[in-house]
Amino acid sequence: MNLVTTIILVFFLGMEILNVITLYFKPGSKKSNAVGVFKAWEKSKNDSEIHDFVKYLVFWVAGTKIIFILLIIVIIIFGDPITQSISIIALIISIATFYWKLFPLIRKMDKENQIEPKGYSIGLGIMITTMIIALFIAFLIHFLQN
């Protein structure tokens, strides 16, 4: 794997690892894409049954991110160039699914003042778009060199 592709993937892994740590140990944070930005997080604390359910879903997300992280590490270390290229495309597609259901929902919540800070959904959308573009560049470089 070339240096640019490795740097992009390692940066992505670093972001995801920090996100997992935040989701498990400080889920109410407003940093690292945790759920503290949602006003419903604090409201859920008023009902222990609902709050336990919300925490369960947050930890579920963190657990699936760990699977994602470990698979990427295995592919970087042990994957042949074809597997690495296809994996980058799979990563792009899986990240892009954010725009199917999650982005419309978070935009709606943002417009209805359910998220703090206001405009968070746009920043998140830009961050995810930037990551998709970076991974696509990594794919092109990787594909052209192999």
User: 61-106 pLDDT, tens per residue?
Assistant: 999 999 999 999 999 899 888 898 899 999 999 999 999 999 999 9
CA distance 36 to 59: 14
What is the tally of structural domains in the chain?
Answer: 1
- For 18, the domain range is 3-145
CB 9 within 8 A of CB 76: yes
Q: Report pTM.
A: 0.87
pLDDT digits (tens, 9 = 90+) for 56-71: 999 999 999 999 999 9
Question: Which phi and psi (to 5°) does residue 70 adopt?
Answer: -65, -40
Burial (CB count <10 Å: 0-12, 13-18, 19+), residue 117: exposed
